[in-house]
Structure formats: C-alpha cells, structure tokens
Amino acid sequence: MAWDNDLTDEQKRAAAHEGAHARLLAGPGTGKTRALTRHAMFLVESLGIPPEKILVITFTRAATEELRNRLRAEFGEIAKLPIISTLHSFALKTVLANSARVRLPSPIRIADDYEERNIIQEDLKAILGLEKIKQVSELLHLLSADWERLTPDWEKRFPNPEFLGAWQEHRKIFGYTLRSELVYQLKLAFTEGKLTLKDPPQHLLVDEYQDLNACDLAVIREIAQAGAELFTAGDDDPSIYGFRFADPEGIRRFTTEYQPSDSLELAECKRCDRDILDLALYVARQDTRRIDKAIHPVDGAAAGEVQILHFENQEQEARAVAEICVWLRDKQNVNPDNILFLLRSDHNGQFSKPIRAALQAKGFRVATITDPLEPLNCPKDDDGREQKDGRILLSLLRLCVNAEDHLAWRTLLQLRPNGIGEKAYFSLYDLARQKGIGFANALMLVRDDPSLINRFGNKLREEVIAIEKLLSTIPNGEQLPLDVVRRLSE
C-alpha cells in the first residue's frame, strides 16, 4: 500500500512532513494514529529511511500492539517494521544493555504487580509496623511521584526517611527494580553521563504526547539530542494520566522547546456527531491553558445525542443499563456482540459483577475481559479460594532462568502448601540482612545448615529440596510436556 492511499488532504500534509521536528495536534476521530503510521511509511517509501532507524513510542502495551498491527497491515507481512515500543519497554532494553552503568540491583529484575502488592508492600507494612497496606502503597506512590516529576534531591526531601530506608534495604535483599523507576533510572544515567545511545534512531515518532510526564519528556529530549527528528502526535484536551503526573504543558510548549519545529493540525472529526462534539468542546474549553484548535464534524454528520444518567446505587445502574441493552436488541436490532461496556476500574469485579448479573437475567451472554495475565496473579474462584497454579508455575520457570531469583523463591515459599509462614520468611530476611546477602542466598545457607534458623530450618530445608527436585524435571531448551506443567503447579 502506498503511504498516501485514502488519506484526506490534511492527513496527507501531516504524514509527508519532513525536515524539522513536528507537533501534530489532532482531536478525537481526526485520524491522528493513521497519520502517524503513514508518516512512518512515508519515511521508508519516499525518503528511504531504514525501518530499524525509526523508533515509534506509544503510551501503553495495548497501543503498541494496535500500532504494530496497523503497520503490519500497511507495510505487508514480509516487510521489516520500524521499532515500536512503550517508553518503559525502551527504558528497560536500554538499561539492560547498559546494566553496569545504572544504579539498580544486578541482574536487573522487574517486580511485577503481584510481587509488588503481595511481597514488597506486605513486607514493608510488617517491617514498619503499619496498620494498613494503603499506607505503604501511598508511600510508594510518593516515590514514583518524585521520579515522574524529576523532583530535585528527592531522597533528601522524602517525608518519611524510615520508609525510604526500609524500602532500600528490602530491594537490596530481594534484588528487584520497581517498574515505576525504570524511565527515571534511564534519565539519571543520561544526566550523569554514564550512558549514551550507541545507535540512536534517525526518526522518533511519539503517540499521545500529552500523556507523558516530566521524566518521560526528559528522556524524549535525550533521544532527540542524540540526533533523532521528532514527530509527536496528541491533543492536550484529553490528558487523562494525572495520577502519574502527565504534563499536558509538554505538548503545549513543544514548538518553543524544539527548534526548528512545525505545528500541524487535523481538524475533521469522523467519530463524533455535532452535538457530541460541541459538548466535548464545551468541557475542554474550561481549561484556560488549552491550545485552541479547529475541529469540526464531517459534512453531513448527524446532530447526535448526549444523555447523562444518574443512579442511586450500582444495582439500580445495572438494571437500567440492562434495560437499555434490551431496547437496543429488541427495538433497534443491534447485535449484542456490538455492545461494549468500558469500566474505569473493576477490582475484584466490584463494578462488572452487578452489570453481568443484570444482563444475564435479561438473557444476554456476557464476556468479561480483564487483565490477560490475571491467571498468574492468584485470582479467586467463585468460592473465594485463590487459584495459585499459574503464579507457582511462573516462579518455577523464573528459577530456571536464574536460580537466585529472590522474589521467585519467596513466592514459592509463600504459595506452596508447605506449612511455612511469615515468621520463617522474616527469619530468613534477618539472616540475609545480617550477612549482607540476598534472600535466596540465605535460603541456600539454611538448606545446607538448618541450625542457622533453629525453629524453621528443617522445614525450610525440606521445601528447598522439594522445589529443586521439581526444577530438575524441566527439560532444558524444550517445550514443557503437559504432565510436567501439571506436576510443577501441584
């Protein structure tokens, strides 16, 4: 497919931009991502830029996958694609390639959501004698805030030095890195001159630029200063990631910060009818700092309709939306497969369960799509029992890669039916702290000499030997047989 196939005139002008940094301001439904992907095609087809010299940064993994699929469809199955990555993934790859130059435990091991919530936060709560896990999560959020906002001398200004010391000790013993600090550590390595990009991209394309925070923006600037030409796309109106300190001022001051640079716009909205777009603009214009930009519906757009519904409680809301779905199905001939509910959050099915039940009572078949990694996070079944098999299997596989994966060993001790409890974990933690070693190393010492922890030593030794026996059944470099997978998770 040619890069300019089926583009509007304004999309074509944006996609064909060259010779300077560019900011593409594009409201909803104007074809922002389409213009960005076609710009990548233009660089390859018309300017002869090698695909591997084009880096495309997206905000979420879902957006990365969507963009990769779009480029695959437009470039063709055989063609080599530009590099497509989230900023966190780019930071991780760059840090891994330069691990000796960054201030992180080595080997670099990113704690996942389950480990952060069920090991890191729970341990810090116990170590500090806090009453609620929320207190720990709020303190970790303060750490992330300092990194994301690039707070100067944050370690000296952190309001709870006891927590900071406990966390630093804990991360040393368990050898992990928090996902929220990856981009910050990359920026720090750049600033300290410990890291330079050996093979920087010639062109850097950034989607949803308005959702980047101060630290993200600083890393983008480092890549640009290494020689990349920037093509950014976004809209300051829907900057929604305030919880991670997204800075819409970044897109607003782009043309001042990057010189030479051009400001491009897409104004024709194909997604919203007139009244819907007018209401959205009414809300957006309440931000006095927003960039005033042209946007209008396509010729022939309908009037559209907006309704705001209020309910006393979740059950009433669920019954009402089920009735709306009945009306759509029976009166408007809408296929139920074309009805989608989006929820801002759904912890333990708090919001989806009432809606699901109300829809099922009206004869609808319902599919709830949540985190695809949920089976690895010990979800609860209908009887409230944790399903641990996925997480146990993941931890065993991690030990196949690194036999001293401290978090994996701790997870197995915690989840397997071995009668080992919190006091044993913290006895191991104290042993590791006293000897200046990692958690897994302390566990191996106890395996060899159970008397190091008199009360729990023998039970810990038996559990380590049992886990090592399981690990010995995993074939090296081969696909795991089903019976092995079953044994590993038992």
Give me the average pLDDT of each 10-residue run along the chain (490 residues): 90 96 92 93 95 92 85 80 93 84 87 95 97 95 93 91 97 95 93 87 95 94 96 81 68 94 92 83 81 84 83 92 94 91 75 90 82 69 76 92 95 95 96 97 97 94 95 68 48
Looking at the fold, whether 471 and 340 belong to one and the same domain comes out as: no
Structural domain boundaries, residue 352:
314-361
Q: Is residue 372 part of a domain?
A: no
Q: Is residue 380 part of a domain?
A: no
Looking at the fold, whether 404 and 458 belong to one and the same domain comes out as: yes
Looking at the fold, whether 277 and 398 belong to one and the same domain comes out as: no
Burial class (CB in 10 A: 0-12, 13-18, 19+), 33: middle
Looking at the fold, whether 169 and 204 belong to one and the same domain comes out as: no
Distances (CA, A) of 166 to 47, 114, 138: 54, 20, 15
Q: Which of 228, 191, 235 is nearest to 209 (CA)?
A: 235
Into how many domains does the chain fold?
4
Structure tokens at 45: 């087809």
Looking at the fold, whether 68 and 152 belong to one and the same domain comes out as: no
Looking at the fold, whether 285 and 323 belong to one and the same domain comes out as: no
Looking at the fold, whether 393 and 255 belong to one and the same domain comes out as: no
What local confidence, expressed as pLDDT, does residue 333 receive? 94
What local confidence, expressed as pLDDT, does residue 406 receive? 98
What local confidence, expressed as pLDDT, does residue 465 receive? 96
Q: Is residue 236 part of a domain?
A: yes
**Cα 300–Cα 301–Cα 305 angle in degrees, nearest 5:** 150
Please write down the long-range contacts of 80-83, taking CB distance under 8 Å and 24 or more positions apart: 80/51, 80/52, 81/51, 82/40, 82/44, 82/51, 82/52, 82/54, 82/55, 82/56, 82/205, 83/51, 83/52, 83/54, 83/55, 83/56, 83/201
What local confidence, expressed as pLDDT, does residue 74 receive? 81
Looking at the fold, whether 400 and 451 belong to one and the same domain comes out as: yes
- CATH number for position 14: 3.40.50.300
Q: Is residue 249 part of a domain?
A: yes
Look at residues 252, 267, 296 and tell me which one is the last residue of a structural domain.
296
Looking at the fold, whether 86 and 195 belong to one and the same domain comes out as: yes
Q: Omega before 260 cis (within 30°)?
A: yes
Looking at the fold, whether 195 and 171 belong to one and the same domain comes out as: no
Helices (H) and strands (E) counted in the chain, each on its own, are: 22, 8
Is the distance from CB of 191 to CB of 167 less than 8 angstroms?
no
Looking at the fold, whether 200 and 171 belong to one and the same domain comes out as: no
What local confidence, expressed as pLDDT, does residue 370 receive? 61
